[in-house]
Amino acid sequence: MRRRLPLAIAGLALAGLVTLAADDTVTVTGEIVDSACWIKSGAKGESHRACAQKCADAGIPLALVEDGTGKLVWLAAVEDAQTPNAVLRPFAGRRAQVTGTYAERGGAKILLVVKVAAAPK
């Protein structure tokens, strides 16, 4: 009995971690922008779409301006040495829903992109 109790506690703790990880997934809705033009001049929208796509092709990070708050959400790929620009590019200048998990260190926060879809109208 004494040997089973620690195993049971460990099993419950592990189950809690799995549940915690699943609960960390968020979906954020807003407009996909190229970060440089948006920060420098507030450029966004359909009129800036082609420029945002060219900037993405040049390696400038695409980001999301969150609906309601207007805050810039930095986006990153889950995989190391990758950029999410390829999956975000079709949504540049348009509203999208980005699903993923947040990572934070040293006061900086990024959303690790798992899925991108067009936002409902």
Number of Cβ within 10 Å of residue 48's Cβ equals 20
Name residue 108's amino acid: A
| Pairwise pLDDT comparison (22 vs 104), residue with the higher score | 104
Q: What is the pLDDT of residue 14?
A: 43
Q: What is the pLDDT of residue 23?
A: 66
Distance, in Å, from the CA atom of 48 to the CA atom of 83, rounded to the nearest integer, reads 21
Name residue 66's amino acid: E
Q: What is the pLDDT of residues 85-113, one digit of tens each?
A: 999 999 999 999 999 999 999 999 999 99
Classified as helix, coil or strand, 33 is strand
Query: Does the pLDDT value for residue 8 go beyond 60?
Result: no
Q: What is the pLDDT of residue 93?
A: 98
DSSP state of 91: G
Q: What is the pLDDT of residue 1?
A: 47
Q: How far apart are the first and last CA of the chain?
A: 58
With contact defined as beta carbons under 8 Å apart, do 26 and 100 qualify? yes
Domain range list for the chain: 25-118
| Mean pLDDT across 28-47 | 97
Query: Does the pLDDT value for residue 54 go beyond 50?
Result: yes
| Mean pLDDT across 57-82 | 97
Look up residue 100 and give its two tokens.
């993923």
